[in-house]
Homo-oligomer: A and B are copies of this chain.
Amino acid sequence: MNYPNGRKGVSQRSSKQGKTQATFSNRGMTLEEDIALTNDYYRHANIAIVHKNPTPIQIVNVDYPKRSAAVIKEAYFKQASTTDFNGVYRGRYIDFEAKETKNKTSFPLSNIHQHQIDHMRACEAHGGICFIIVKFAIHEEVYFLPAAKLFWYWNDQFQGGRKSIPYDHMKVEGELLPFHYQARVDYAAALDKLYF
The chain A residues found within 8 Å of chain B, CB to CB, are 43, 46, 48-49, 51, 53-57, 69-77, 80-82, 86-93, 95, 119, 122-123, 125-128
Contact residues of A: prevailing secondary structure:
mixed
Assembled-state Cα–Cα distance A87/B95 (Å): 9
Assembled-state Cα–Cα distance A117/B108 (Å): 41
A69 closest partner in B (C-beta): B76
Q: Show 22 residue pairs from A and B whose CB-CB distance is below 8 angstroms, ordered by the A residue.
A: A43-B122, A49-B119, A49-B122, A49-B123, A49-B126, A51-B53, A53-B54, A54-B54, A54-B80, A70-B76, A71-B74, A71-B75, A72-B72, A72-B74, A73-B73, A87-B123, A88-B123, A88-B127, A89-B126, A91-B126, A92-B93, A93-B93
Q: What chain B residues lie within 8 Å of A53 (beta carbons)?
A: 51, 53-54
